[in-house]
Amino acid sequence: MAQGFAKTLYASKEWIKLRRNLIIERGPVCQECGAVVVDTSKLIGHHTVKLTPQNVTDPKVTLNPALIRLACHDCHNKQPHHFCSSKQRSVYLVYGSPCSGKTTLVNQMAERGDIILDIDSLFHAISGMGMHDKPNNLRFNVFALRDKMLDMIKTRYGEWHDAYIVGGYPGKGERERLAVELGAELIYCESTIDECKQRAIADQVRGKDMVRWIEKWWRDFEP
């Protein structure tokens, strides 16, 4: 299971830039099975050297392209765990602006057997619509499911490993209250409004809507 000591690495601008450059250089292709991964947020940078608290701050290990292979989820899950093992469960509240890289960060950290609780994914699972298409008439059902999952995470119900709660959470009070209730560690996906807008504009289908959501998030954001 992923360890908290690696979160700073995967949220760093150095890692984000390196991973993006590797995808550009090698293509959006899994280097294990050769599959093309259209949604590059699901293409994981797998360290061939197991990360530990001792080497996670060593850029010769963590930021060395020769020690990193791009892998799809299925192939990544077949690899030996790339973190030193721990039986302790961890809960992370991952927050930030739309298009700040929350999904990419969670996909990088999470492993098979973890919980990823993302409201967009719940809407998609219930409605069958696109990932960011949220029919208003389903909000009651979706949020009821989210609250049920949050309760299971809070009480550590089930045999899951780690849990990731993904959302915007621009309000400081709300995210800190939730973190205390869940016993969760906060992970902020650091970005700028301009970086988020540039990523949104690249999406020709949802770009304009995403820009409006980004601007609203930054208006509401409380560091």
Report the DSSP beta bridge partners of residue 91. Answer: 163
Residue-level length of the chain: 223
- Read off the pLDDT band of 89 (50, 70, 90): confident
- Read off the pLDDT band of 1 (50, 70, 90): very low
218 and 41 in contact (C-beta within 8 Å)? no
Tens of pLDDT, residue by residue over 96-150, are 999 999 999 999 999 889 999 999 899 999 998 876 778 899 999 999 999 999 9
Tens of pLDDT, residue by residue over 7-34, are 889 888 899 899 999 999 999 999 999 9
Tens of pLDDT, residue by residue over 135-187, are 899 999 999 999 999 999 999 999 999 999 999 999 999 999 999 999 999 99
- Spatial distance between the Cα atoms of 31 and 46, rounded to a whole number of angstroms: 10
142 and 126 in contact (C-beta within 8 Å)? yes
Report which of 91, 104, 138 is spatially closest to residue 119, judged by C-alpha positions: 138
119: tokens are 């409201």
Question: Between 203 and 146, where is the model more confident?
Answer: 146
- Identity of residue 216: K
- Spatial distance between the Cα atoms of 128 and 33, rounded to a whole number of angstroms: 28
